[in-house]
Structure 1
Amino acid sequence: MPADLAVIGLGALGLPLAQAATAAGIGTIGYDPDPRTAALPGTDGPLSPAEIRRLLSAGFRTTTDPTTLGRVRTAVICAPTPLGEDRALDLSAVTDAARTLAARLRPHTTVILESTGYPGTTEDVVRPLLEEGSGLTAGRDFHLACSPARHDPGNRIHRYGNTPKVIGGLTPACTEAAAAFYGRLTDKVVRARGPREAETAKLLETNYRHVNIALMNEMAVFCHDIGVDLWDVIRCAETKPFGFQAFRPGPGVGGHAAPIDPNYLSYKGRSLGHPLRMVELAQEVNGRMPRYVIQRCATLLNEHGKSARGARVLLLGVTYKPDIGDQAGSPAREVASRLMELGAHLTYHDPYVYEWNVLDRPVPRADSLYEAACAADLTVLLQPHRTYDLQGLAVKAQLLLDTRGATPTGAAHRL
C-alpha cells in the first residue's frame, strides 16, 4: 500500500509507532540510515520476532533510501537520544534525522518529534534545521509538533491505543494536524500549550520515576541495615488510599528513558545554572545500586564460608524489564562485570537472551535452570520473568539473593 507515514528511526520509539499505525490501516514506511537497524534483526528490540513478522506481512516496509521521505504526509522523528558521558542528552541522531528530512520536505507535511529532548528542542534545534534545509517555514508551509513517546515495553494493560498522547504544536493549526494523526492511533489526545510544555511533560514523567525509585533504593539499604523488612513496609504503605504510590527498589534502573537534567543543555553549549538537584541525586543513588548488590553478594557468600573469588554465581534475568528481550541500560551488565572482576565464575539464564557478552567475553548460558541453581554457590535474581517458578527456584538454589522482592516471603534473601 502507498505510504502515508514515515517513521524515522526504527528503535524503541519507532517500531511501536509503526506497529500502531500499520494496525490502523495507515500506509507506513520505516526509515533508518543504519542498514542493520533497517533490516530489523535480533530479538532484543521493542517488538518480538513474531510481531515483526506480522508487521511486515501487513505491508510495513523499511528503507535506507531517504528519497522516500518526500512522498509522505506525516513524518515522525523517533531517533534515539541517549545520555552521554557528560549526562547530557546526545541529540546528534535527531539533528541528522532533521537534516535528512529537510532535504525532501514538501509543503503541507506534518512533522512530529517523538524523541526525548530538552524543553526547546523542537523549536530551537529541529525547526531551524528543517527550515534551512527545505526553504519552507514551519507553521506556515508545514506543520511542526512534539509528541513525546510513552511506549512501555511488555505492558499488557497500557498499550499504544489506550495510552493518551500529549501533543504540543508550534501553532494551534500544527497541534490540530498532529492531533488528527494521533487520533487515528489512540483513544485520547492531550493538547499541550506548545512544544516546550510537551517536552517538559516528558522530562517530568521520566524524572518522577527515577526520583521515586531512588527513594526506595535508599530505603532498601537503610532497612537492611536496621533489620526491617522493606517489602512488608511497602505492602503496608500501599494500602493508604491517598498520598502514596508504591515504587520498589532493585539492582539499578535501566531502560531507554534516562533521568534528564535540563541544566545540561549541551546542544547550545550553555547551562541554565538551575540544576534539578533531586534528579542529580537520584542518578547518583540509582547508579550505585549495582555496587550495593555486589556488596550483598560478597557478604552472603562470606557468611556461608565462601569467597567471591572462585564462587559459582548464576544471574537470572539480564534484561531491563521482565518478559521482554531488551537489555538497554540493564544493571545486569555492571553486576556481572564487577563479579567477574572479583574472580567469580558466572553463568546466566534468561528466556529472552540467548547470547550475552560482558567485558568482551561470552558468559555461559545455563541450559537447565534448576540444575544450574543447584550447582551455583549463589543465585542472583535480577529480573523476575513470568516463566520463572520462583518457589521452585528458591527450593533448588543453594543460596538465593532476590533483588526484586519477587520470591515468596522467607524463601530467599531480599535486597
Structure 2
Amino acid sequence: MAGREAIIGVVGLGYVGLPLARSIAERGFRILGFDLDPKKVETLNRGESYIRHIPSTTVRALRQDDRFRATATPSDLQQADAILLCVPTPLNRHREPDISAVVSSSRMLVEILRPGQLVVLESTTYPGTTDEVVKPILEESGLKAGKDFFLAYSPEREDPGNIDYRTSTIPKVVGADDANSRRAAEALYDAVVTETVPVSSSRTAEAVKITENVFRSVNIALVNELKVIYSAMGIDVWEVIDAAKTKPFGFMPFYPGPGLGGHCIPIDPFYLTWKAREYDIATRFIELAGEVNTAMPRYVVERLARALDEKCGVALSRSKLLVVGLAYKKNVDDTRESPALRLIEMLEERGAKVDYFDPYVPVIPNTREYGHLAGRPTASWTAETLASFDAALISTDHDEVDYGLLAKHCPLVIDTRNVLEQRGLSGNNLLKA
C-alpha cells in the first residue's frame, strides 16, 4: 500500500465508486473497476465519463497512463489486493433497507476471494451490516476474516458538486473488528486521503455515517417546519437564517427546500430506525423529521395552486407548468430521490401539464419509483418557450441557469431555493415557497 504497488478493485462505478476510483488512481495506484452494467464499462474504457463532475479528460488521462481499467467480469477481481464495495443501498417500497446489492456483491467475492486480500464496504448501511452480513458470506469461502483476509468498513463521504472538497481531501473514517484488518485498511486510505480516522469497530464506523446524515435530516426538517410557520406569519425564513448565522457560536445554518433528495439524507435515517426496532427502541425524533421532509412537496404544490389562482386566475388542473431543475441538488446531474420527480408526479395527478428544464439532465432517467416519467426530454430555454407556461417552479438552483430570462418572460415563478433574490431579481410575478 505505502509503495502504491497494490491493485485496488472498486465494485460499483456510480456516483461514489467512480470518484473514489479516480482519487485512488491519481495517488499512483492501479485501479480495476467493476460494474454489472456493460455500457458503463465500455464507456469508461473508451476514455469517456457519464458523471458530470468527472470530466472525460480525467478518465482518458487515467486510461492513457494505464492506471484504470473497467471490467464486467467478476473473476478479474482476483487480481486486486484490495476490493472496495461501493454498491447502492436504497429503501424498498416499505421504507425498509434493501441491502441486496451488498449481499450479491459479497457472494460474488466468495468465488474469487484469496488469502491476503482486503475487502472494505463503503456503502451506507445500518450498524452491524459488515459483521452480520458481509463477514459470514465471505467466510463461506473457507477463509477467516482477520486471519486469512482482511475486512473493514469505511463510509463514503462524497459531496457531488462541492468544489471545495473532493474524495482525497475529506477525512476517511475506518473501522474494523480486528487489529490486522484495521491496519490494512488504514494503510490503504493513508496513501489516498489527507487524514484517516480509525475507530474501534465496523459498527462504530457504520454508525458514524448514519449519525452524519440523521443530523442533516433533522436540521433540514427543522428549517422546513420553520419555513411553513414563518410564511404564515409573513416572515421570510431565508432572511431569518441569514441573520441567525452571523452568531459565531451555537448556530449552524441549514436551508429549506421542496423536499429531500440524493442517496443519503432521505434514506439513511430509515436504516437506523429499522435497526433500532431490533432493540425495541422507538426513534420518534428521527421519524418525525422524515415525516416533515416528506411532506414538503405537498406544501409546495399547495402554495403553487394558490398562487396560480390568486395571481393568474388559472386552476392548477388546467395549468401548463415548468419545473426548473430535475437533479436533487445544484450543479450535478444526479436525480436519485430528487423531490422534482415527486413534484412532477403530484402536479400531474392534480391535472396539470408539466414539462421540466435541467441543463444537466437532457432526458429523465429510468428510476424504480418514477419509471413512468422516464424518457421525457428537457424543455428548451427560450423567451418564447418560457412565456408559454402559466407558471414555473424552481426546484433546483443550478448556477448556469439564466433566471433573469425566466423572471422576465414567465407569468409566475415560484422559488423554493431563494435563488431569485440571491440573483437580485424582483417582481410581482416572483414568489417564494
TM-score (ref. length: structure 1) = 0.93
Counterpart for residue 255 of structure 1: 262
Residue 76 (structure 2) pairs with residue 68 (structure 1): yes
Distance (whole Å) between structure 2 residues aligned to residue 43 and residue 108 of structure 1: 33
Superposed displacement of residue 22, structure 1 = 1.4
Counterpart for residue 336 of structure 1: 344
Q: Is the 8 A contact 1:152 1:158 kept in 2?
A: yes
Counterpart for residue 25 of structure 2: 22
Q: After superposition, where does 1:245-394 map in structure 2 within 5 Å? A: 245-257=252-264, 258-261=267-270, 262-265=272-275, 271-304=278-311, 305-356=313-364, 359-360=372-373, 362-363=375-376, 365-394=378-407
Residues 1:172 and 1:264: Cα distance change in structure 2 (over 3 Å):
same
Residue 403 (structure 2) pairs with residue 414 (structure 1): no
Residues 1:171 and 1:364: Cα distance change in structure 2 (over 3 Å):
closer
The secondary structure found in structure 2 opposite 1:161 is helix
Distance (whole Å) between structure 2 residues aligned to residue 48 and residue 382 of structure 1: 25
The secondary structure found in structure 2 opposite 1:107 is coil
Superposed displacement of residue 29, structure 1 = 0.9
Identity in percent: 39
Once the two structures are superposed, residues 43-72 of structure 1 have per-residue CA deviations (whole angstroms, 9 ceiling, x without a partner) of: 467645554444444432211111111111
Distance (whole Å) between structure 2 residues aligned to residue 384 and residue 232 of structure 1: 18
Structure 2 residue ranges without an equivalent (≥5): none
Once the two structures are superposed, residues 286-305 of structure 1 have per-residue CA deviations (whole angstroms, 9 ceiling, x without a partner) of: 11111111111111100021
Q: Is the 8 A contact 2:177 2:200 kept in 1?
A: no
Distance (whole Å) between structure 2 residues aligned to residue 290 and residue 40 of structure 1: 36
The secondary structure found in structure 1 opposite 2:120 is strand
Superposed displacement of residue 3, structure 1 = 7.2
1:83 aligns with one of 83, 86, 91: 91
Tell me the amino acid that sits aligned with residue 399 of structure 2. R
Counterpart for residue 234 of structure 2: 227
Counterpart for residue 15 of structure 2: 12
Distance (whole Å) between structure 2 residues aligned to residue 345 and residue 95 of structure 1: 42
Distance (whole Å) between structure 1 residues aligned to residue 65 and residue 331 of structure 2: 25
Q: After superposition, where does 1:104-119 map in structure 2 within 5 Å? A: 104-119=112-127
Distance (whole Å) between structure 2 residues aligned to residue 58 and residue 403 of structure 1: 45
Distance (whole Å) between structure 2 residues aligned to residue 220 and residue 374 of structure 1: 29
Q: After superposition, where does 1:146-295 map in structure 2 within 5 Å? A: 146-257=153-264, 258-261=267-270, 262-265=272-275, 271-295=278-302
Q: Is the 8 A contact 2:32 2:80 kept in 1?
A: no
Residues 1:160 and 1:340: Cα distance change in structure 2 (over 3 Å):
same
Distance (whole Å) between structure 1 residues aligned to residue 51 and residue 25 of structure 2: 21
Tell me the amino acid that sits aligned with residue 342 of structure 1. R
Once the two structures are superposed, residues 153-188 of structure 1 have per-residue CA deviations (whole angstroms, 9 ceiling, x without a partner) of: 111001111100000122122112111111121110
Structure 1 residue ranges without an equivalent (≥5): none
Counterpart for residue 126 of structure 1: 134
Q: Is the 8 A contact 1:207 1:259 kept in 2?
A: yes
Q: Is the 8 A contact 2:125 2:268 kept in 1?
A: no
Distance (whole Å) between structure 2 residues aligned to residue 131 and residue 46 of structure 1: 37
The secondary structure found in structure 1 opposite 2:84 is strand
Q: Is the 8 A contact 2:363 2:374 kept in 1?
A: no
CA-based RMSD: 2.2
Distance (whole Å) between structure 2 residues aligned to residue 74 and residue 248 of structure 1: 39
Q: Whose helix proportion is higher, 1 or 2?
A: 2
Residue 385 (structure 2) pairs with residue 397 (structure 1): no
Counterpart for residue 93 of structure 1: 101
Residues 1:86 and 1:111: Cα distance change in structure 2 (over 3 Å):
same
Moved more, 351-360 or 62-71: 351-360
The secondary structure found in structure 1 opposite 2:70 is strand
Distance (whole Å) between structure 2 residues aligned to residue 289 and residue 40 of structure 1: 38
The secondary structure found in structure 2 opposite 1:348 is strand
Superposed displacement of residue 38, structure 1 = 3.4
Q: Is the 8 A contact 1:380 1:400 kept in 2?
A: yes
Distance (whole Å) between structure 1 residues aligned to residue 75 and residue 374 of structure 2: 41
The secondary structure found in structure 2 opposite 1:244 is coil
Moved more, 48-57 or 226-235: 48-57
